[in-house]
Amino acid sequence: MFHKTLAQGFFIFSILAGVLAAYGWGLRSDIWLASTQWMQIAIYLLLLAVYIRISEADDIEELKTRIRKKMVVQRKPRPKTKKKSSKK
């Protein structure tokens, strides 16, 4: 759940950086950084958001396999031991 929120935040900041790049390019005025630098930040944030979403899917699959292995171990029948009969 945290991965999804984090990825969405980076995606929103990526869009904002893209808007700032377009604004700076259109008006030929820089806002803290040059337009090309804003584009680099937008691309970096977008790639980071995609990576986080991919790693979330990997984490979910890893958790599923761990749970399956744990369930298999718990379901394994124990070998029956022979009872010793005491004859006197």
61-83 as b/e, with b when 16 or more CB fall inside 10 Å?
Answer: eeeeeeeeeeeeeeeeeeeeeee
**How many domains, in total, are found in the chain?**
1
Q: Which carries the bigger pLDDT value, residue 17 or residue 58?
A: 17
Examine residue 41 and state whether it is found in any structural domain, yes or no: yes
Give the least confident one: 5-9, 43-47, 70-74, 80-84: 80-84
32-36-41-46 Cα dihedral, nearest 10 degrees: 140
Examine residue 51 and state whether it is found in any structural domain, yes or no: yes
Examine residue 54 and state whether it is found in any structural domain, yes or no: yes
Q: Are 44 and 17 contacting, i.e. CB atoms less than 8 angstroms apart?
A: no
Q: Across residues 40-48, what is the average pLDDT?
A: 92
Rounded percentage of the chain residues whose pLDDT exceeds 90: 16
Q: Across residues 21-39, what is the average pLDDT?
A: 81
Examine residue 64 and state whether it is found in any structural domain, yes or no: no
Confidence of residue 86 (pLDDT cuts 50, 70, 90): low
Examine residue 76 and state whether it is found in any structural domain, yes or no: no
Examine residue 78 and state whether it is found in any structural domain, yes or no: no
Examine residue 26 and state whether it is found in any structural domain, yes or no: yes
Q: Which pTM value belongs to this model?
A: 0.59
Domain membership of residue 27 as a residue range: 2-58
